[in-house]
């Protein structure tokens, strides 16, 4: 029961990978605040499923640093402490570069990368002062190998990987661990939107021959957050073998 009594914030927790991470942490005995931006009904349903005393939902745009500070402060007020942050919130705006509008690039980078900065920055001083804590960032294999039509998304996720490694070196002496999970193709709304031909092309490049499940990402997240692990500055690919260094 390594998660019991701990308190975490998960950004973008109302659906997909974020939702499963919230559930896994709560089931492990942690208390969790999570953010959502537009998915109010799924957010309320998740609170009801996990229990209001264990999980709290906050409507927040992760691009807003002041709002990030409010979520951190309210989480501590409500649950008494903070042990870590999972930066999961992210969006895609896929287009070839020649067709990509500046807003498509800006929105993705500001949500994915600046959102990671905002919540990490809002929490890091508290974690350093208590000399214990975790920052876990959800990156992507796209940030390691790139994908056509995803210059904005790949740039944001590559930035998260660099951010993870740099911050881990800054705060390791305070016993604050900073790691990242880089999922491959996971069964979410994004992959469900792919046509069958594209799915088969992708699957042909995955040694395990299937897409991953959000629950599998959540299990790894719960492991990394579930104790004073001797692990920091690492990027864990969860991709069925698609990317092998």
- Per-residue pLDDT of 205-223, as tens digits, reads 999 999 999 999 999 999 9
230 is catalytic: no
Average pLDDT over residues 102-108: 98
Q: Is the pLDDT of residue 47 over 70?
A: yes
| pLDDT at res. 217 | 98
CA distance 62 to 68: 7
Q: For residues 121 and 87, give the distance between their C-alpha atoms in angstroms, rounded to a whole number.
A: 11
Q: Is the pLDDT of residue 191 over 80?
A: no
- pLDDT tens for residues 57-99? 999 999 999 999 999 999 999 999 999 999 999 999 999 999 9
pLDDT tens-digit map of 111-121: 999 999 999 99
How high is the pLDDT of residue 60?
A: 98
Give the active site residue among 36, 65, 153, 230: 153
Helix (H) or strand (E) holding 9: strand 7-10
- Give per-residue pLDDT as tens, 127-179: 999 999 999 999 999 999 998 999 999 999 999 999 999 999 999 999 999 99
Closest CA to 214 of 238, 237, 242, 179: 238
- pLDDT for 134 equals 98
Nearest to 10 by CA among 68, 53, 95: 68
How do strand 55-59 and strand 84-87 relate by DSSP bridges? Answer: unpaired
* Cβ-contact 175, 132 below 8 angstroms: yes
Tell me what pLDDT residue 92 has. 93
pLDDT of residue 190: 72
Residue 245 has a pLDDT of 58
Whether pLDDT at 184 is above 90: yes
pLDDT digits (tens, 9 = 90+) for 226-245: 988 999 999 999 999 999 85
């Amino acid at each position: 029961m390594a998660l019991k009594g701990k308190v975490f914030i998960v950004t973008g927790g109302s659906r997909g990978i974020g939702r499963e991470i919230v559930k896994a942490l709560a089931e492990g005995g942690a208390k969790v605040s999570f953010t959502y931006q537009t998915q109010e009904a799924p957010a309320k349903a998740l609170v009801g499923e996990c229990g209001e005393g264990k999980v709290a939902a906050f409507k927040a745009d992760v691009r807003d640093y002041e709002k990030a500070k409010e979520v951190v402060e309210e989480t501590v007020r409500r649950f008494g402490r903070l042990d870590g942050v999972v930066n999961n919130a992210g969006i895609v705006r896929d287009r070839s570069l020649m067709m990509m509008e500046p807003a498509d690039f800006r929105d993705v980078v500001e949500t994915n990368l600046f959102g990671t900065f905002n919540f990490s920055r809002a929490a890091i001083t508290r974690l350093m002062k208590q000399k214990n804590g975790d920052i876990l960032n959800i990156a992507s294999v796209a940030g390691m190998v790139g994908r056509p039509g995803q210059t904005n998304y790949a740039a944001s996720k590559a930035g998260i990987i660099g951010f993870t490694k740099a911050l881990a070196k800054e705060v390791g002496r305070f016993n604050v661990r900073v790691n990242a999970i880089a999922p491959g193709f996971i069964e979410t709304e994004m992959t469900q939107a792919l046509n069958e031909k594209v799915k088969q092309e992708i699957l042909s490049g995955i040694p395990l021959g299937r897409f991953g499940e959000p629950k599998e990402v959540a299990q790894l997240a719960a492991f990394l957050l579930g104790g004073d692990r001797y692990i920091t500055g690492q990027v864990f690919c969860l991709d069925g073998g698609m990317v092998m260094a």
